[in-house]
Amino acid sequence: MEGLLLAIDTSTQMASVALYDGVAVRAELTWASPRHHTVELAPRIAEILSAKKVGVGALTGLAVALGPGSFTGLRIGLAVGKGLALARNLPLVGVPTLDVVAYAQARRRATLYAILTAGRGRICVAPYRWRRGRWRQIAAPQITTWTELVEWADAKAVFCGEIDRQGAQVLSDLEDQTRVLSPAQCLRRAGYLAELGWQRLEQGERDEERLASPKLNRRRKQQIRAARERADTAMEARD
């Protein structure tokens, strides 16, 4: 695949967009956007395109984060992605948000727990193990609390993603075999989403038809495990 891919992540109150050409992340913006995705997303996309002195016509592919996350935030990101795909006849792929969190992390022997905040003191968590050269999810995401997480998490674990002040305090009390990654390491960036999206497009995968079809969307939702559905529902309450 050649060209320029636009990645869009509006899963939570942290939003991010990036331009990627298969060799390097050419531009990227990541910012806190509490309930402002509607008014901020399009200007941010225009900003990174302008920074590289290219227009929408230079795009050859799109990647969007699929959640779990805020219903409103995800809807806005998907709407922009689908609109560009339809208007420009561009290939579009969707990537689970927790996969983006895990993908950014270096190889480790411990279980990796990717985390998104879910509001009201809750978090959405999925465990990953390094297998066959990449992080692979070993169980469906679930809604829990920081206190509950430390009770059932593996003794040898790494925690990354959206770790708030409460989470940092709870996790700091764990034994030496666990590690909490730094805020910079935890930041979810669209550059990683872009790499994952590019890989899928190079493999010939495309999602624009599925994401644009209400019937197919309903069928897919029925196949998603109950834990992931609970995660989406809980995070919707933040809006």
The pLDDT score that the predictor gives to residue 121 is 87
pTM: 0.87
Say how far apart CA 95 and CA 66 lie, in whole Å: 6
Which is it for the CA torsion 84, 59, 210, 96, positive or negative? negative
User: Strand pairing of 157-161 and 179-180?
Assistant: parallel
Q: pLDDT tens digits for 25-81?
A: 999 999 999 878 889 999 999 999 999 999 999 999 999 999 999 888 999 999 999
Looking at the chain, how many residues does it have?
239
Helical (H) or strand (E) element with 7: strand 5-9
CATH second-level architecture of 5-96+189-236? 2-Layer Sandwich (3.30)
Q: What CATH topology corresponds to 98-186? A: Nucleotidyltransferase; domain 5 (3.30.420)
Per-residue pLDDT of the chain (239 residues; tens, 9 = 90+): 789 999 999 999 999 999 999 999 999 999 999 878 889 999 999 999 999 999 999 999 999 999 999 888 999 999 999 999 999 999 999 999 999 999 999 999 999 999 999 988 899 999 999 999 999 999 999 999 999 999 999 989 999 999 999 999 999 888 777 899 999 999 999 999 999 999 999 999 998 777 764 433 444 444 444 444 554 555 555 44
Spatial contact of 153 and 128, defined as CB atoms under 8 Å apart: no
In 70-225, where does DSSP find H-type helix?
71-88, 97-103, 146-152, 165-171, 183-186, 190-202, 208-212, 214-223
Query: What residue ranges do the domains of the chain occupy?
Result: 5-96+189-236, 98-186
Asked whether this chain's domains 5-96+189-236 and 98-186 adopt the same fold, the reply is yes
Q: In what order do the strands lie in the sheet with 92-95?
A: 25-32, 14-20, 5-9, 61-65, 92-95
